[in-house]
Amino acid sequence: MSFEDISARMKALKAQKEPEDGRPAAYDHQESYLLRGKMMGVLIRDARVNAARTIDDCARLLKITPDTVEAWEYGTQVPSLPQLELLAYYLDVPVSHFWGTETLSKARDGQRDNQPEYILLRNRMIGALLRQARESAGYSVEDLSAQAGLSADHIHRYEIGEIPIPMHELSVLAGAVRRNIGFFLESSSQIGELLKMREDWKHFADLQDDLRAFAANPTNKGFIHIALMLSQMPAENLRSVGESILDITM
């Protein structure tokens, strides 16, 4: 039974709880628990497959038997919340995924056919950025060829997106035109936004404990907005603010 079938049965079962002619219909609680277990099982398997993990991998993490994990996925047994929390951490999904209404595979299938076009487009964009950075640095293709130890023909083909730039060569070319790899990263598409979010999270996780706790506290949002506004002020305005603070405290 597919996830959509289970979900439809669950909706139909919930509809039975609506009063008819002023009298509530009989509600099958056992059927409700069974369907909820099966829905969760589909979502557990969905998250596991999406993360490229095996049943044995999950069993080792939770110190349980593979048969138990398999029973979860079939919906004949159901994990506890702490077990789901560990699974969510291990499979890199929010824990709410396991009681959600959409599978990861459904969203992934819609993107799969676009991957070749995405790679082709990104190669052209990276080539254009390389050319932009080279010209901004005042280099000819021959100048860059001499600095990077790559043929001028290869660099030209890279710049027009005819062939992809191997990552180890891109790092050398980036340094030669005085750019870092971040200059070439995708930032506008859904993939780019996700990658940027992960990079932002990495920087946030690297903050000192007290700074991270302060930023994560919703009640401090106003202070963060003030800090953002201060960071965008011209230097002269910042000096005026600093002088005003000194006047108040003296």
Token code pair at residue 174: 């980036």
Instruction: Write out the residue range of the structural domain in which residue 236 sits.
Output: 220-249
At residue 59 the predicted structure's pLDDT band, cuts being 50, 70 and 90, is very high
Token code pair at residue 6: 């289970």
Please indicate, yes or no, whether residues 103 and 141 belong to a single structural domain of this protein.
no
Question: What's the rounded mean pLDDT across residues 56-61?
Answer: 96
pLDDT at position 230, please?
Answer: 81
207 or 53, greater pLDDT: 53
- Determine the Cα–Cα distance for residues 161 and 118; give it in Å rounded to an integer: 13
Residue type, position 125, single letter: M
Structurally, the chain folds into a number of domains equal to: 3
Check pLDDT > 60 for residue 233: yes
Check pLDDT > 90 for residue 133: yes
Please indicate, yes or no, whether residues 39 and 65 belong to a single structural domain of this protein.
yes
Query: Does residue 210 form part of some domain?
Result: no
Final residue in a domain of this structure, among 83, 108, 133: 108
Query: Does residue 46 form part of some domain?
Result: yes
Please indicate, yes or no, whether residues 138 and 85 belong to a single structural domain of this protein.
no
Note the pLDDT tens digit of each residue in 72-122: 999 999 999 999 999 999 998 888 888 887 787 655 555 555 678 878 888
- Determine the Cα–Cα distance for residues 178 and 180; give it in Å rounded to an integer: 7
Query: Does residue 229 form part of some domain?
Result: yes
CATH of the domain at 60: 1.10.260.40
Residue type, position 131, single letter: R
Residue length, the chain? 250
- Determine the Cα–Cα distance for residues 106 and 6; give it in Å rounded to an integer: 15
Question: If phi over 0 gives left and psi between -120 and 50 gives alpha, with beta otherwise, what is residue 148?
Answer: alpha
Q: Which of 104, 99, 103 is nearest to 36 (CA)?
A: 99
* Cut 0.85: pTM above it: no
- Determine the Cα–Cα distance for residues 215 and 203; give it in Å rounded to an integer: 12
